[in-house]
Structure 1
């Protein structure tokens, strides 16, 4: 949660780089992700727990989540599943896909074009670095991303990347 604005944000970090992808999400989805990451028990299944159970009961397996597009400041995602050897992709809001991913332990991927549009690079001191533009990616107004950069720069990155078992 951003203490400045009270909005919720998920920040994905590129595995082998210092590039981050901030995605603003709703309060319910943020709570659903936090409940799972913090291993909080709930008396009744949340919607994403129900989705995990339904997928499992139908014999499917979530293989990965893909944040695949960014259009008009809205991120798009796909839930990728194996259903009896058949590849199935389902359209999803990124927040719902991420809440499911943390429950099933699936990989989370971001399309390179999305990272080029909205990814934020930081140097070792937490300051934004100059990004090298990808000529194939659409131009994005830096002012639209400034709020994400400000928020990331306000984070304590020492705890970033530590799992709930750390």
Structure 2
């Protein structure tokens, strides 16, 4: 498993869909996951330390978990099938470990509230992560694991990225507070 950090939330200027950008810790690999506007807002509000007058759904979930004397141990993005990511929330309850199926967006919204680590299975990162060239900010792909030299992604490979295709071209290597960005979490 690889540890991830939330690098930011972006809004596609083409279709107004939200994308949470997860960065594989200590690398230039990024895992973009499309999420709904409510979940994006829930994550962004917490990353910005904005308080709301009434608890959001993810705040309520956190309160329920806490009131049951349970803790969130970690979040795991464990599968990717037909462009859909699958996650689980791993809880510690009375000395036992319990896994709860979750959408990644909900699990991530909970993770920012509990300051829990976020992980992804290696196979998910292999399937969906993109590598950014530090100089150009463009997506590149590793030749193979042995020589790990980056090469540009071919048009055929880019087309194979399905739902991520229009997003990849809009990534900004600075990942700062550009148009449509939520603030980024400290690295």
Q: TM-score, normalised by structure 1?
A: 0.87
Matched residue, 2:139: 128
**1:163 equivalent in structure 2:** 185
Post-superposition offset of 1:118: 0.5
Higher RCO (CA < 8 A, seq sep 6+): 2
Q: Which has the higher strand share?
A: 2
Give deviations 1:137-163, integer Å, cap 9, x for gaps: xxxx74242653542442333246953
* Structure 1 residues 52-110: Cα deviation after superposition (integer angstroms, max 9, x where no partner): 00000000000100000001111000000111110110000000000000000000001
* RMSD, aligned CA: 2.2
Residue of structure 1 equivalent to 2:22: 12
Aligned twin of 2:161? 145
Contact 2:132/2:173 (<8 A) preserved: no
Among 13, 17, 20, the alignment partner of 1:3 is 13
SS at match of 1:20: strand
* Residue ranges of structure 2 left out of the alignment (5+ in a row): 1-10, 146-156, 177-182
Cα distance change on mapping 1:158 and 1:91 into 2, 3 Å: same
Secondary structure, aligned partner of 1:39:
coil
Aligned pair partner of 2:32 in 12, 18, 22: 22
The number of residue pairs the alignment matches comes to: 159
Structure 1 unaligned spans of 5+: 135-140
